[in-house]
Structure 1
Amino acid sequence: MCPPPQRRLAASPARRPPPLPLPPLLLLGLLGLLGPPLLRCAALPRTASPRILTGAQGWKNFQFNTTEKHIAVYHEEGSSSVFVGAENKLYFYDFENSTSYVERFDVDKSRSMCENTEEAINYLTFIGKYQGKVLVCGTNACKPTCWYWVNRQKEAEINGQSLAPFGLDKNSLVLIDGNDIYSNIRKYQYNGRIPRFRRVQGAAELYTSDTVMKNPQFVKMVPIQQKEAYDDKIYFFFREDNPDWPNNPLAPRKISRVAQVCKGDKGGNGSFSAAKWTTLLKSMLVCVDSATNRNFDWLQDVFIIESDQIYGLFLNEWGYSAVCVYSVSDISEGFKTSPLKNYSGKTPAVRPGQCLQGTEKTPPETFKVIDSYPEVAAQMNGKIIFYSKHRYQQLGVHQVQVADKENYDVLYLATDKGSIHKVVILPDGPMNILEIQPFRSQAVILAMILDKTRNELIVASANEVVQLPMASCGAYKNNCGSCVLSRDPYCGWINEKCTSINEHKNGTLLQSLRHDVPRNICPTSNNSEGDSSSPSSKEDLIVTLNARCFLNCSQESHYADYTWIHNNRTVAHCNSGHRHCLHFIDNMTNELYGEYSCVSKEDWFHQTVITKCLKNPSQDSKFKNVKSVGLASVPSLSFWLGLLHMIAIVFTIQ
């Protein structure tokens, strides 16, 4: 028996024409389109991720006072604060004590260098720590300028050429490494159309020849430490036009590259090479799934972790994403040992790309070869570890030491829909364990920063910045089966709670980081049925005779099967991988009243996710005079047109 009714959610008139049969696809449109006329029992999840997490405990956010056209985010590792550069202003927010301020960086339009006065804006495009101070750089009305930001005060203006663009430019990167600053931003406004890789501060200024890259779009710059300090490198990753196309029409038009220069490069001996990189070599980055022979050519993002690994995020022509992993030592060895592509001459005494010690400079004969043949013949082949139909745009990787002291890599992948997928690399393959929706309303992720010291993510949109813990164990409910089956390296079961491993360094947490989780891992009381029958997961619904009703069960796990049960009989079944489990009652009758339970089953573990009790108001005097708010007649033409529009939207988001 159902408990006494507590509240009325919807009703429908007792008299209406016979119901129209609806195909399953139309149910999706109805669920999103209809408000009060149909009983909507729950909202659909937006994507087919394993679990969806929004607004969890420990999340903190800072909202801007407007929607920003552009942002640049700086967060110092281990700190609780964040700087955000925007249009004519600098935001500061401390998540720990909720202190904030906004400082103006306005421009004097009378001194603007822009041809169009409407472009006389100061977009703050870069913020970083240089020589112990916060360096803020902006377009400054087409006159790039930097300021040191100290004690909430601007110090004197600094020439920002090559540190900030003349106007908004998405293909602008700046890297601070010790006393050296590297950039791909052009130095002059009306010449130098070909982007160059430069060293602009610190040691002698150097730049790349215009012939070594063809229409490059830069992705990332990173410092690479070697065993010997003189051999340290800067790697930069980019896409460029493929020289093999159009001679080979089957070749991709764009190819992805990794290039190296020696940090100790001092330029060449001759006048032609004195201000140029003389140790530059480049190679093709290859990311191919051998099982399906799918090529992923379009490099999106790069992330390097300390254990000699480079993770690259790629797209293919169909918009599918893949992550390939490369070894720093393998790339370094390839640059050192591979012959130059298309070069058949004698190798100079100082090998192209070789780092020299002390004050020695690259000889002219070596520079002549490398300037004409900068590409090595060897390709850098990555090991594909994960690919997906989702279009990922940003990548972060965190290496976690779990309860058994083993290390696991966790990938944070920002989608084009404004969510983050959390993928753990398990011994028997990767697993997408969680979808994080960081913002209050759906928005594009413009920046994502991993703080390994604090185990936090900093995520920014055009409206807000959010700080959230990497360990969001509350997403897995407080039952052992759900906790261990999450395969989340940050979480384990202890003291009758799903808890972060960082809170129990010395405790014995139950974890299982494998696809096949042992049946007996949990205590006997938790081995089969998890207790999710809290008051919040039970709901009474008042539905009149002849009404239509949707019952929707949000799928907490992408890997579980879901079943709706009524009077010990299965009325709807949804296999794993579906976005939702929906049961539709087209015409309410007396025998359809009662309790409906949605039960999930994953491997050996099953639990009741939600229970809904459908009640007839005519059987209770409190509801006999309820006014009807349901369908009063056959749906109108405008109704069906709206429904078809919703179906089109459903197809689009899928």
Structure 2
Amino acid sequence: MHPLLSLSVFGLLLPQALMRVVDSPLNCIPRRSVPSNSNNALLFWEEGVFNYSAMLLREDLDLLVVGAREAMFALDLRNISKKITSVEWKASPKQVRDCKRKGKDAETECKNYIRILHEMVDGKMYVCGTNAFDPACKKMSYADGNLALMEPEDDGKGKCPFDPFQRHASIMIKNDLYSATSMNFLGSEPVLMLSPYVNPLSGPIRTEIKTSWLYDPNFVSMASMPDSEKDDNDDKVYLFFSETAVEFNCYSKLGVSRVARVCKGDEGGQRTLQKKWTSFLKASLDCPVPGSQLPYIIQDSYRWCDPSLHWKECVFYATFTSQSHTSEISAVCAYRMSDISKQFSEGKYKTPASVETSYITWVTFSGEVPEPRPGACINREATNSEIKTTLDLPDKTLQFIREKPLMDQAIEPIGGRPLLTHKGAAFTQIIVKQVQALDGEKYNVMFIGTDQGKLLKALHNEEMFIIEEVQLFTPPQKIKILKFSNKMGQIYVGSDISVVQISPANCERSSTCFDCVLSRDPYCGWDKVEGKCVSVSSSQSVLIQDMKGNASHCPDAGPVVEPLTRNIKPGRILKLRCPSPSNLAKLIWKRNGIPLPHSPEDGLLILDDSDNNNNNSGKYSCLSVEKSKAGEYETIVVNYEVIISLENGGVTQAQSSGESHSGLIVAIVVLAVCLVLLLTWRVVKRHINLPCDRTKEKGEEPQQTRDLEAKDASVPLAAETPNKHTNAGDAPCQRGPTRKE
């Protein structure tokens, strides 16, 4: 590679990555962390079934239809733990054998993973599965409380992925299926394809198999936009994905995020681009996370539109993760539909160019752009110029779009920076809902899934604020799909192991008025009459709520926190726990009303050292201090009454220093006496051997006594002339006959 080219890559990326570092909301911390045993969620799973990654809301039937491995389930939309019915769809034995012969794993890959679930115009459902690396599609009906698969079976190539672990995207519009996946077993032919339902004989429309169109893509999601009020041919389908960049020359592959679009009225070209898209254009999506030198990679997107505004005011929210292994930061960026549309309709194109006859680089196209504009839909203006369909487009326009589908400028996010950055678990899925708070304003609340099975609830109100993070799956599992039912007001989450239903409003988690208001949750408010945090939609009372965290309207007197009694023995350590109601709060400990110099977050340690006259008994209070833009608020979390207790369990005050020393002295004296007695006994035992031979007559004098008398009479004699009976007298007593060896 030419050194100037590699430098140009980082010259383009670095300024975007480092801009607006000061104002970026780096590492936004959730205010509250909720464990899985307190998430108030409903759960569905079935033994032996995995990969609940396809969902279809059938609000007309009050059903949540879930596609998993080799099965589809119809669950009660009100309570998904109630299964209404299910139907199996397994790969045939022949398909499994063929899959195994091709080197795939029989237990994981050679199964039928349901990947596509869409509702059709007549109320039936269109289902596609990987089918042991032989994708197939069927219609499915629901009647009399039962799901039933219908024949015939359609070929699923280009509609559903072969590989169950390969990412894909699809959308159905008036029974026409738009899909982004791979066309072959190896996954080396990525396509964006239209499979027409009304006129299937016309054949599918698809992308060219060229790296300039799609280069090792990971498809994320698709969305339909009207783009016109009167002409359906001008409506468009948008595809979000990531791929290897062709415009940068690097030593290793560099990933970039993209958005592409095609026109619904596209029929392909007459000679050039036959049965291929004539309207396929793509542009880069920039999500500039400060400090990152590499582009962030899109993981999911969600289209949010205000029904009272023009379609150009719609916003796409997208989750991004780093492609660097050294970064754990994820981000959310938002893009205006008007900015995306303007880039495709007015922006410049990139074109490949040779450098020093050896390298191909992509530069801004500065030549003449043909008419009609390459990639434009056939709208009313085009039909007035005798171009009725894409089949009438001139070859010059078609050849241009075939060679130059990439736009020159990247699409910048709203505000030029991420709405949210968070360090930790990687973001996967996102949905956005608008909620009207008690102040009359409307707020967008984001629900973000992570690869660790957590659901983040975040509010965008001048600044980003994560209300809470809830652990949904234990052990942690990647969240693969999120759905929101407007009818039920519930969130549905899918993972490899189960499906979870959870309410967006769990106001009962706040036990005090301060906690309720400081959470800044537009779903919740404090009911002064009931004395609890309640859902705004279900209450008729006057509630306290403030989206800036102003808790000054809360009653001054909070709930009385009864003290908890704790005993500590002399010389022991006692740990006082204080569960913080907020990750943003600071804990302060007080003893008898006086603040302690050090207030640890994980609990207060108390050591009773009575020898130093340090009596730690008394009243301890743990207080939570939390700041918001409106002020600083202090609440009592827990009170303790600490009492010093004796070793035998009786309750008393700390012992005096003198009593403690007296006890120690007594113990030492007793120990010394015991040692003296033990030594005395050992000395006596050494010099006096008691007789134990009871077979001798009473009149007989023991030999040992005679020896002692002789020894006492003449010690020198005993020393010079050894007594011949000494050995016999000194021999140990025998309790039985001695055995001869």
Q: Shorter-chain-normalised TM-score: which range?
A: 0.7 to 0.9
Any residues of structure 2 matched to 1:553-632 within 5 Å, and which? 553-571=578-596, 580-586=601-607, 591-602=615-626, 603-616=631-644, 618=646
Distance in 2 between the 1:78 and 1:476 partners? Answer: 35
Q: Deviations over 1:161-220 (max 9, x none)?
A: 333223313222222222211112233436x72311111233651111122122211111
Deviation of the 1:474 alpha carbon: 1.1
- Which residue of the partner structure matches residue 214 of structure 1? 215
Distance in 1 between the 2:293 and 2:599 partners? Answer: 31
1:243 equivalent to 2:246? Answer yes
Q: Deviations over 1:503-552 (max 9, x none)?
A: 14x654322112xx446333xxx24x53262x7xx644454433333333
Any residues of structure 2 matched to 1:49-60 within 5 Å, and which? 49-54=30-35, 59-60=41-42
- Which residue of the partner structure matches residue 179 of structure 1? 175
1:286 equivalent to 2:317? Answer no
CA contact (8 A) 1:562 1:573 kept: no
Any residues of structure 2 matched to 1:422-571 within 5 Å, and which? 422-427=457-462, 429-439=463-473, 441-477=475-511, 479-494=512-527, 495=529, 496-504=531-539, 508-514=542-548, 517-518=549-550, 520-522=552-554, 526-527=555-556, 529-531=557-559, 533=561, 539-571=564-596
CA contact (8 A) 2:160 2:179 kept: no
Deviation of the 1:281 alpha carbon: 0.9
Q: State the AA in 1 paired with 2:150.
A: E
- Which residue of the partner structure matches residue 674 of structure 2? none
The 3-state SS of whatever aligns with 2:420 is: strand
Any residues of structure 2 matched to 1:147-226 within 5 Å, and which? 147-150=138-141, 151=143, 152-159=147-154, 160-189=156-185, 193-202=188-197, 204=202, 205-211=204-210, 212-226=213-227
Distance 1:588 1:220, change over 3 A: farther
- Which residue of the partner structure matches residue 325 of structure 1? 334
Any residues of structure 2 matched to 1:393-412 within 5 Å, and which? 393-412=428-447
1:315 equivalent to 2:310? Answer no
Q: State the AA in 2 paired with 1:360.
A: T
Q: Deviations over 1:366-409 (max 9, x none)?
A: 11101101112222111322212233222221111112221111
Distance in 2 between the 1:591 and 1:410 partners? Answer: 52
Deviation of the 1:561 alpha carbon: 1.6
Distance 1:115 1:470, change over 3 A: closer
Distance in 2 between the 1:546 and 1:508 partners? Answer: 54
Distance 1:322 1:110, change over 3 A: closer
Please point out which of 76, 98, 104 is paired with 2:88. Answer: 104
What runs of 5+ residues in structure 2 fail to find an aligned partner? Answer: 1-27, 307-313, 352-364, 653-741
Distance in 1 between the 2:95 and 2:218 partners? Answer: 31
CA contact (8 A) 1:173 1:218 kept: yes
The 3-state SS of whatever aligns with 1:245 is: coil
Q: State the AA in 2 paired with 1:609.
A: V
Deviation of the 1:138 alpha carbon: 1.5
1:129 equivalent to 2:111? Answer no
Distance in 1 between the 2:565 and 2:499 partners? Answer: 38
Q: Deviations over 1:470-512 (max 9, x none)?
A: 11111221x32221111111111233332212114x6543221
Distance in 1 between the 2:60 and 2:434 partners? Answer: 16
- Which residue of the partner structure matches residue 12 of structure 1? none
CA contact (8 A) 1:574 1:581 kept: no
The 3-state SS of whatever aligns with 1:405 is: coil
Q: State the AA in 2 paired with 1:50.
A: R
CA contact (8 A) 1:296 1:315 kept: no
CA contact (8 A) 2:517 2:551 kept: no
Distance 1:622 1:255, change over 3 A: same
Distance in 1 between the 2:166 and 2:574 partners? Answer: 49
Provide the TM-score with structure 1 as the length reference. Answer: 0.78
Provide the TM-score with structure 2 as the length reference. Answer: 0.69
Q: State the AA in 1 paired with 2:277.
A: W
Distance 1:255 1:166, change over 3 A: closer
Q: State the AA in 2 paired with 1:145.
A: A
CA contact (8 A) 2:299 2:429 kept: yes
Any residues of structure 2 matched to 1:86-97 within 5 Å, and which? 86-94=68-76, 96=78
Q: State the AA in 1 paired with 2:420.
A: F
- Which residue of the partner structure matches residue 3 of structure 2? none
Distance 1:109 1:167, change over 3 A: farther
- Which residue of the partner structure matches residue 260 of structure 1? 261
Distance in 1 between the 2:298 and 2:609 partners? Answer: 54
Distance in 2 between the 1:367 and 1:449 partners? Answer: 39
CA contact (8 A) 1:301 1:394 kept: yes
- Which residue of the partner structure matches residue 708 of structure 2? none
RMSD of aligned alpha carbons: 3.0
Q: State the AA in 2 paired with 1:610.
A: V
Quick one: higher RCO (CA 8 Å, sep 6+), 1 or 2? Answer: 1
Q: Deviations over 1:197-249 (max 9, x none)?
A: 111233651111122122211111111121333321111111111224335x6
Q: Deviations over 1:338-378 (max 9, x none)?
A: 12123343222211121104751133221110110111222
Deviation of the 1:300 alpha carbon: 1.6
CA contact (8 A) 1:72 1:84 kept: yes
Q: Deviations over 1:572-608 (max 9, x none)?
A: 7559xxxx44222355768234443221122442211
CA contact (8 A) 1:162 1:183 kept: yes
Please point out which of 219, 232, 235 is paired with 2:235. Answer: 232
Distance in 1 between the 2:263 and 2:576 partners? Answer: 63
CA contact (8 A) 2:256 2:295 kept: no
Deviation of the 1:335 alpha carbon: 0.8
What runs of 5+ residues in structure 1 fail to find an aligned partner? Answer: 1-46, 625-654
CA contact (8 A) 2:620 2:639 kept: yes
Q: State the AA in 2 paired with 1:598.
A: C
Distance 1:469 1:573, change over 3 A: farther
- Structure with the larger helix share: 2
Distance 1:474 1:431, change over 3 A: same
CA contact (8 A) 2:51 2:497 kept: no
- Which residue of the partner structure matches residue 370 of structure 1? 401
Distance in 1 between the 2:40 and 2:46 partners? Answer: 20
- Which residue of the partner structure matches residue 72 of structure 1? 54
Distance 1:95 1:377, change over 3 A: closer
Q: Give the percent of matched residue pairs that are identical in Structure 1 and Structure 2.
A: 27
Distance in 2 between the 1:182 and 1:614 partners? Answer: 69
The 3-state SS of whatever aligns with 2:344 is: helix
Distance in 1 between the 2:270 and 2:131 partners? Answer: 37
Please point out which of 340, 343, 347 is paired with 1:338. Answer: 347
Distance in 2 between the 1:521 and 1:184 partners? Answer: 53
Q: Deviations over 1:261-305 (max 9, x none)?
A: 1111111111x4121000011111111257x67765211221110
Distance in 2 between the 1:622 and 1:153 partners? Answer: 73
1:418 equivalent to 2:453? Answer yes
Distance in 2 between the 1:530 and 1:171 partners? Answer: 52
Based on CA coordinates, which of the two structures has the bigger radius of gyration?
Answer: 2
The 3-state SS of whatever aligns with 1:185 is: strand
Distance in 2 between the 1:57 and 1:171 partners? Answer: 29
CA contact (8 A) 2:52 2:497 kept: no
CA contact (8 A) 2:135 2:157 kept: yes
Distance in 2 between the 1:448 and 1:433 partners? Answer: 18
